[in-house]
Chain A
C-alpha cells in the first residue's frame, strides 16, 4: 500500500519525545492557575458521583411518612424531602441521569456536528452550501421552545432518548466550528500534499483532518455541555417531561412548585442541593475550559 510508506506530515504528536513534551505542556497549563486544577477535580468528582454514587447509596429512595421535611441531622445530612426521603441520597442518585444525558447528548451532537462540518468544509461547493443551510436552520430555530413542543409527542423517557433529542437539536455550533477549522486546514501544506498524492478523501478526512480537529471538537463539546444541563434540567423543572426517575430537575420542580420552597424555608435543602450541584458542575466546566482554551490557542498565553 502506498499509504503505509507515506511519511506523515510533521505533526508533533507523532514522535514519542514530542508526545512526552505535550504531556508536560498540558501539566504546565493545568497547574499555571489553581482554578484549572479545581475545575478538573470538580469534573472528576461528578463523574465518580454519577458512576458509583447510586451503587453505594442504592437507587431506591426510602419513603418514610414519619420523617417529612426534617432538618439536617446526623442521619440525614441535608434533611429530608416531602416524602421523607434523604435529600443527599436523592441528589447523588439524581446526578446519574443528568450526567448520563449530558454525555449522550454530547456524543450525538459531536458525531453529527463533526460529520457535517468535515463534509462541508472539506468538499466545499454544493454540498457545503446545502449542509450549511441545514446548520443555519438548526442554529436558528429556538432550541428550548422546540423541545417544549416536542414533548407533546415524545416522552423523553430514558437518558438515551433525552440525550438523543438534545444532541439532534444541539449540533449546529460544533458543525460550524469544525467547518471553519476544516476550511483553514485544507489549505495547509500537508493536506495539499496528501491530495496531490491522490489519497482517497476518506483517508484524508479520517487520518489527516480528524486528529487536527479533535481538540476543537472537545472544546465545543464542553461548551455545549453547559447548554445541555440547562435544557434537560429545565425541561424537568418546567414539569412537561414525565418524572420517570430521580434527578436534579425533578427535585427543583418539586421543591418550587409543590414544596413551596420559595415561600417557606421548609423545602429549602431540597431546592438548594440540586442547585448547588448545577452551579458546581458549571463552575468545573468553565474553570477547565480556561485550560483547554490556552492549550489550543497559544496566543492567549500573554504576559
Chain B
C-alpha cells in the first residue's frame, strides 16, 4: 500500500505540473492578445468619468491585475489566484466570477457524458463478447466492421444525422436547449421539469453513446479473444465445466482492463464535448468555451480551457491508478 501512495503522489504531482504548464501557456496567450480584461475595464471606468488613478485601482480590485503592472507580477498574481480557486471575473456575464459561470455549466456536461458512457459501456461490452466468440462468422466480422466505422465518424456528424432523422424528419424528439421553453422561467426539482430535461437530453446522450460505443466493442472483442487463448479456459473446458460458467470466467477476466478505460474515455468525451454541445446548443462547459471565444471573454476562456484540461488530466491519472489497483495481473 505504501507503494501505491507513492505512485499516487507522483502521478498527482505530474498532473499538477501539466495543468501548471497549460495555465502558463494560456496566461501568455491571453497576454499576447489585444483587449486584455483589466485594460477593457480600465478604459470603461475612464469613459464613465473616473480619473485614471481611481479607474486603475478599481480594475485591479476586480481583475486582480492590470496590464500596467510588470508581466511577472501579473503572472504570479494569476497563478496564486488559480491556487485559491479564483479564476477571475467574466466579461460577457458582466462581473460574475468565472468559477460560478463554469459551475453552472458543469452539470450539463458531466451528467450527459456519464450517462452516455454507462449506456455505451453496457451495449459495447455485451456486443464485444458476441463479436469475439463468433469472430469467424459473418455476424462477428459485421459487428466489428460496424464498430470501427462508427468509431471513425466525427461526433458532430453523428449528432447532425440524429437530429435530421429524429427531429427534422420524424419530429419525435426535441432538439436545442435543455428544457421546453415554458419551463425556462420556473426551473425546480419537480417531475415536470426533470422529465423535460431528460426528454431533451435523449439526443445528446445518444450521441455520446454512439461515439464511444465502437471503442468499447472493439476493445472488449480483443480482450475476450486474448482471454480465450488462456490456459485456464482450456483447463475448465477439459474439466467439463458448462459453457455458461466458462463464459462467466471469460467475461470477468476480459472486462477488467476495460474498467480502467472508463475513466480515460470520460476525459476524451469531456475534451470533445465542445462539438456536441455546439450542435445541440446545450449550455455545457464546451459551449461556454466556444461562446467565450466569440465574445473575447478571455477570463472565461482560460477558465473553461483549464477546467477541461484538468478534467482530462485527472481522468488520465485515475485511469492509470485504476489500472494497477483493479487488475491483479498488472500489479507488481
Please name all residues of chain B whose beta carbon is closer than 8 Å to the beta carbon of A286 when the two chains form the complex: 145, 148-149, 152
User: Which residues of the other chain, A, contact B21 by a CB distance below 8 angstroms?
Assistant: 137
Minimum distance in angstroms from B132 CB to a CB of chain A: 12
Q: Report the separation of the CA atoms of residues A148 and B145 in the bound assembly, to the nearest whole angstrom.
A: 32
A238 to B148, Cβ gap below 8 A? no
Does B275 contact A145, Cβ atoms closer than 8 Å?
A: no
How many residues in A have their beta carbons less than 8 Å from beta carbons of B? 44
B304 to A, closest residue via Cβ? A145
Among A18-26, A159-167, A191-199, A276-284, the stretch that binds chain B is A276-284
Within 8 A of A (CB), among B280-313: 286, 289-290, 293-294, 296, 298, 301, 304-305, 308-309, 312-313
Which partner residue on chain A sits nearest B308 by CB separation?
A145
Query: In the bound complex, do residue B161 and residue A275 qualify as a contact, i.e. CB atoms below 8 Å apart?
Result: yes
Task: Indicate whether A278 sits within 8 Å of B157 (C-beta atoms), given known contacts A144-B274, A153-B29, A153-B33.
Answer: yes
Is there contact, CB below 8 Å, between B152 and A240?
Answer: no
Q: Which residue, of A145, A234, A256, A286, has the highest number of chain B Cβ atoms within 10 A?
A: A145
* A35 / chain B contacts, CB cutoff of 8 Å: 145
Point out the residues of chain B lying under 8 angstroms from A303, CB to CB.
Answer: 136
Residue of B nearest to A229 (CB): B154
> What's the Cα separation between A268 and B161 when bound, in Å?
11
- Report chain B residues within 8 Å CB of A271: 160, 164
Q: Are B168 and A142 in contact (CB under 8 A)?
A: no
Residue A75 interfacial (CB < 8 Å): no
C-alpha spacing A286/B141, complex, angstroms: 13
- Residue B62 interfacial (CB < 8 Å): no
Distance, CA A215 to CA B146, complexed state (A)? 25
Which residues A259-273 have CB closer than 8 A to chain B? 261-265, 268, 271-272
- The interface of chain B, by Cβ under 8 A from chain A, is 18, 21-22, 26, 29, 32-33, 135-136, 145, 148-149, 152-157, 160-161, 163-164, 167-168, 175, 267, 270-272, 274-275, 278-279, 286, 289-290, 293-294, 296, 298, 301, 304-305, 308-309, 312-313, 316
* A238 in contact with B305 (CB, 8 Å): no
A59 at interface, CB cutoff 8 A: no
- Establish whether residues A143 and B271, one from each chain, have CB atoms under 8 Å apart when the complex forms: yes
Asked whether A282 and B275 contact (CB < 8 A) given A137-B18, A152-B293, A238-B290, the answer is no
Query: Whose C-beta in chain A lies nearest to the C-beta of B21?
Result: A137
A226 to B289, CA, bound (A): 24
Contacts of B272 in A (CB 8 A): 142, 144
Cross-chain pairs A/B with CB under 8 angstroms, 6 sampled: A145-B308, A226-B152, A240-B294, A262-B168, A268-B164, A278-B154
Q: Within 8 Å of chain B (Cβ to Cβ): is A237?
A: yes
Q: How far is the CB of B249 from chain A (nearest CB, A)?
A: 22
Shortest CB-to-CB span from A144 to chain B, Å, is 6
**What chain A residues lie within 8 Å of B278 (beta carbons)?**
237-238
A275 contacts B275, CB within 8 Å? no
A247 vs B154: C-alpha distance when bound (angstroms): 16
B313/A262 in contact, CB under 8 A: no
Q: Which of these, A143, A151, A278, A279, contacts B293 with CB under 8 Å?
A: A151
Instruction: Chain B residues near A68: list those with CB within 8 A.
Output: none
Q: Is the CB of A145 within 8 A of B154?
A: no
Tell me whether B274 and A238 are in contact (CB under 8 A): yes
Q: Nearest chain B CB to A281's CB is how many angstroms away?
A: 9
The answer to whether A141 and B33 have CB atoms under 8 Å apart is no
Q: Which residues of A contact B309 (CB under 8 A)?
A: 141-142, 145
Inter-chain contacts of A145 with B (CB < 8 A): 271, 274, 286, 289, 304-305, 308-309
Known: A142-B309, A275-B157, A282-B153. A290 touches B145 (CB 8 A): yes
Report Cα–Cα, A240/B275, bound state, in Å. Answer: 12
Structural contact, A233 and B305, CB atoms closer than 8 A: no
A152 in contact with B157 (CB, 8 Å) = no
Of A142, A234, A279, the most chain B CB neighbours within 10 A belong to A142
Instruction: Check A128 for interface membership: any CB of B closer than 8 A.
Output: no
Interface string of A288-303 (1 = CB under 8 A from B): 0110000000000011
Is the CB–CB distance between A279 and B290 below 8 Å?
A: no
- Flag if B163 contacts A149 (CB, 8 Å): no
Write out the residue numbers on chain A whose beta carbons fall within 8 Å of the beta carbon of B290.
Answer: 148, 238, 240
Chain A residues, Cβ within 8 Å of B32: 153
Chain A residues closer than 8 Å to B161, beta-carbon distance: 275
Does the CB pair B152–A282 fall under 8 Å?
yes
Cross-chain contact B136 with A302 (CB below 8 angstroms) = yes
Evaluate contact between A149 and B168: CB separation under 8 angstroms: no
B110 to chain A, nearest CB (A): 15
Which residue in B149, B152, B301, B312 is a CB contact (below 8 Å) of A149? B301
**Cβ 8 A contact of B275, one of A141, A153, A229, A234:** A234
A230 touches B149 (CB 8 A): no
B33, A142: Cβ atoms under 8 Å? no
Smallest CB separation, B213 vs chain A (Å): 15
Whole-angstrom distance between the Cβ of A170 and the nearest chain B Cβ: 13
Q: Answer yes or no: A285 CB below 8 A from chain B CBs.
A: yes
**Could you say which residues of chain A place their CB within 8 Å of the CB of B294?**
240
A252 to B148, CA, bound (A): 24
Would you call A244 an interface residue if the criterion is a C-beta within 8 Å of the partner chain's C-beta atoms? no
> 19 additional contacts, CB 8 Å, given A142-B270, A302-B136?
A137-B18, A142-B271, A142-B272, A149-B289, A152-B293, A153-B33, A229-B154, A233-B154, A240-B293, A261-B168, A262-B167, A265-B168, A271-B164, A272-B164, A275-B160, A282-B152, A283-B152, A285-B152, A287-B145
Q: Which residues of B contact A282 (CB under 8 A)?
A: 149, 152-154
Contact B22–A141 (Cβ < 8 Å):
yes
Please judge, given known A-B contacts A137-B18, A262-B164, whether A230 and B312 are in contact too, CB under 8 Å: no
